[in-house]
Structure 1
Amino acid sequence: MKFFHALSCATFMTLCAGNISAHAKSKPIPVRVVVVTTFEIGKDTGDTPGEFQNWVEKLPLSREIPAPGTDHDVMRYNPELHVLGIASGEGPEHMASAITALALDPRFDLRHAYFVLAGIGGIDPNFGPVSAAVWAPRVINGGLAHLIDPREIPKSWPDGFTPVQGSTPDEKPRPPLHSGMGDVAYTLDPQLVQWAYGLTKNVALPDSPELRAARARYVGFPAAQKPASVMLGDTISGETFWVGALMNKWAERWVSYWTDGQGTMATTAEEDIAFCQALALQGKAGRVDPKRALILRTASNYDMPPNGESAAELLAAEAHEQGFSGFIPAVNAAYTVGSVVVRNIATNWDRYEKTMPGAQ
């Protein structure tokens, strides 16, 4: 039975490869926008939604396309709007693999496609409230660093993090953003980001007693107590799921340091740096245009507890999904806000195929 199973899997993969090869010989599937999400909880339709389901059901993305060798196994496509949707899998490795696989897939022509990453994340209560929707002008790598255990750092240091290319937290001159040591920060096309924000800044996001209760806990954080809205703010991207006031202070410092004081730390996420890295590398080969990328993070939770609660208590609550008071609102907001941009690009393709929005 084990031999039969292995043979069946090999046969299946051969057939999938054959199907892809057959598609490659025909005209490539046109793609105007790629909607990038990171996870789905169960099925793509009909149950509790993750990041992907709203797009499948509401845009809709009605056509299934096999995606062998990827985390989610299938992609979804809207043949009228020419919008492709993927669920990359969580974490930077899954994201980099998914974007690279897609860029290399001969079934698609992505040279003029726009990429919109629409996912949930944490939010700095010094920046905004849970369930806010935040377009990112910049992505900062929170995982590439030297780290000294907090019990051993010099007393004069704010935290134990230093640039890989340096030995002090505020190494001067600041090391380059892109080097053999890795990519630390990306700036998304400013005109495109501003266009997306301008198009969506007045989109109303729903409120609820649960969200008001979550905001009310953050006494002393005026930004965290405001009703959710569409905002602009930078995202810090790293694989470690960190929480707490001290880590939040580090994240704020890290964003400020790598942006020469120009950035504002807003949201936390895992996959965004890999999204940018993969597009940048595939852009060198002419398969995609990395300038045509947008990142929207909607806040499912705060990244630190309110005054009077510990980081461990917040982590325990989030581990049992009690702290994600904004989970469903954030999932919904990612579609509500993101779809405005996706539809606008797709339905105005005569304008945006060759000239990017905001550049006109």
Structure 2
Amino acid sequence: MLTRSILSIGALALAACAATASNAQDSADSFSESDSHGHPVKVMIISMFGPEGQVWLDHLGPWKAVKIAGLSPDYPDVHCNAQAVCVMTTGMGHANAAASIMALAFSQRFDLRHTYFLVAGIAGIDPAQGTIGSAAWAKYLVDFGIQWELDGREIPAGWKTGYLGINTKSPTQKPPLDYRTEVFKLNTDLADAAFALSRNVVLSDSAQAQAARAKYNYGPANWPPAVIQCDTLAGDTWWSGTLLGERAREWTKIMTDRKGVYCTTQQEDNATYEALKRAASAQRVDLNRVAVLRSGSDFDRPYAGQTSADNLLNYQDQGGFGPAVANLYLAGNPLVQDIVTHWERWRDGVPRR
């Protein structure tokens, strides 16, 4: 009997320990599904490659890693903190961005119906609109890759470029938008709120970046970096050149009915938005809660006397990578913190200011 009693007591103690351990694990696993919609997220920061995400991870932790099926094998986890701010990394380029965002948006781990999405990445920048390190909030996302292209050595007489919209007859015509992803307009109220919160932030800079921008004999190329508002152009082909830059400016005007102003060039944003758009059609996200911030890591065209090849092949010599990455956090965090600190004002939509 004594042995049985001891065994019984031991069994009860083990059961109690197991229950305690299980409860502790349940408590620690704060991002397990709390209901059929998953764990609510207030802000989802979307980066495209490691350093863009790391700058957030370095500042806003501690973090819990949440593995999501279908994300990039290089970045399989979403990291979330106690403020319900999460950071994910898609992988670079259109295909990676679209696939990763679809995996995130349709995961059962998260409730994204009231989530604000902050796409934050580095980009090339037009020296007529900004400089190395400048951080630009966009209102329009334009795809530079969905065009017809003629060999530049064989363009028709009178044409300034070999690019033209698909199913058009000249470079100045707006195409019929058959792809449905050529141009997107973001919520301007959110873009304006983000700009208002960050416009006076002092941005990071470097001596190397200062030397690089001093080679341009006009502003804002040779000014210090600042938070600005202008639009972003997506395309998987990295490019450099004054004539290509002129096409980027004009293409943005054509696609936005003269309302947009081109200033940054990157690869992913139209793909990211289209994936979110499809999730929105299933009532999983709210497209009015998408903000896009791109910081200039290098100039998209050469300074006077420099070749386009030198500008592209030696872009790292401009010294913009470090400041551009740092400025994603410096310019983006005011919006993130305002949302989580004043969630009662943001939960139902962008508050009036």
Q: Percent identity?
A: 35
Deviations along 1:61-111, one digit per CA (max 9) or x if unpaired, are 5111113331111110012x1011101100111111111111100011101
Structure label with greater radius of gyration: 2
Q: Choose the corresponding residue for 1:237, options 220, 231, 234.
A: 234
Amino acid in structure 1 at the alignment position of 2:40: P
Q: Choose the corresponding residue for 1:305, options 302, 306, 325.
A: 302
Contact 2:70 2:99 in 1 (8 A): no
Deviations along 1:178-207, one digit per CA (max 9) or x if unpaired, are x3x342111101111111101110111133
- The question of 1:74 aligning with 2:84 is answered no
- The question of 1:269 aligning with 2:266 is answered yes
Amino acid in structure 2 at the alignment position of 1:239: D
Residue 339 of structure 2: aligned partner? 345
- Give the secondary-structure state (helix, strand or coil) at the position aligned to 1:183: coil
Residue 60 of structure 1: aligned partner? 61
Q: Choose the corresponding residue for 1:33, options 43, 50, 53.
A: 43
Residue 124 of structure 2: aligned partner? 122
- Give the secondary-structure state (helix, strand or coil) at the position aligned to 2:246: helix
Per-residue deviation at 1:273? Answer: 0.7
Using the alignment, how far apart are the partners of 1:207 and 1:183 within structure 2? 35
- Give the secondary-structure state (helix, strand or coil) at the position aligned to 1:170: coil
Deviations along 1:326-360, one digit per CA (max 9) or x if unpaired, are 10001000011111111111121111111323x46
Deviations along 1:293-318, one digit per CA (max 9) or x if unpaired, are 00000111101111101111122213
RMSD (Å), alpha carbons: 1.7
Residue 8 of structure 2: aligned partner? none
- The question of 1:190 aligning with 2:206 is answered no
Using the alignment, how far apart are the partners of 1:267 and 1:342 within structure 2? 22
Using the alignment, how far apart are the partners of 2:257 and 2:171 within structure 1? 13
| Runs of 4 or more consecutive aligned structure 1 residues displaced over 6 Å after TM superposition | none
- Give the secondary-structure state (helix, strand or coil) at the position aligned to 1:224: coil
Aligned positions of 1:1-360 closer than 5 A = 23-24=32-33, 26=35, 28-40=38-50, 50-60=51-61, 62-71=63-72, 72-79=75-82, 81-171=83-173, 174-177=174-177, 179=178, 181-219=179-217, 221-318=218-315, 321-323=316-318, 325-357=319-351, 359=352
Per-residue deviation at 1:167? Answer: 2.2
Using the alignment, how far apart are the partners of 2:62 and 2:107 within structure 1? 19
Per-residue deviation at 1:23? Answer: 4.1
**Residues 1:69 and 1:326: Cα distance change in structure 2 (over 3 Å):** same
**Residues 1:283 and 1:356: Cα distance change in structure 2 (over 3 Å):** same
- Give the secondary-structure state (helix, strand or coil) at the position aligned to 2:80: strand
Amino acid in structure 1 at the alignment position of 2:295: T
Amino acid in structure 1 at the alignment position of 2:309: A
Per-residue deviation at 1:211? Answer: 2.2
More displaced 10-residue stretch of structure 1: 331-340 or 158-167: 158-167
Q: Give structure 2 stretches of 5+ with no counterpart.
A: 1-28
Contact 2:33 2:39 in 1 (8 A): no
Using the alignment, how far apart are the partners of 1:184 and 1:98 within structure 2? 20
Using the alignment, how far apart are the partners of 1:226 and 1:127 within structure 2? 11
TM-score by length of 2: 0.87
Using the alignment, how far apart are the partners of 2:180 and 2:150 within structure 1? 19
Contact 2:71 2:104 in 1 (8 A): no
- Give the secondary-structure state (helix, strand or coil) at the position aligned to 2:195: helix
Using the alignment, how far apart are the partners of 2:142 and 2:349 within structure 1? 27
Contact 1:144 1:182 in 2 (8 A): no
Per-residue deviation at 1:157? Answer: 1.0
Deviations along 1:236-294, one digit per CA (max 9) or x if unpaired, are 11110011111111101111111122211110110111111111111111010011000
Residue 9 of structure 2: aligned partner? none
**Residues 1:157 and 1:35: Cα distance change in structure 2 (over 3 Å):** same
Q: Give structure 1 stretches of 5+ with no counterpart.
A: 1-19, 41-49
Contact 1:61 1:84 in 2 (8 A): no
Contact 1:61 1:85 in 2 (8 A): no
Aligned length: 321
Contact 1:132 1:231 in 2 (8 A): yes
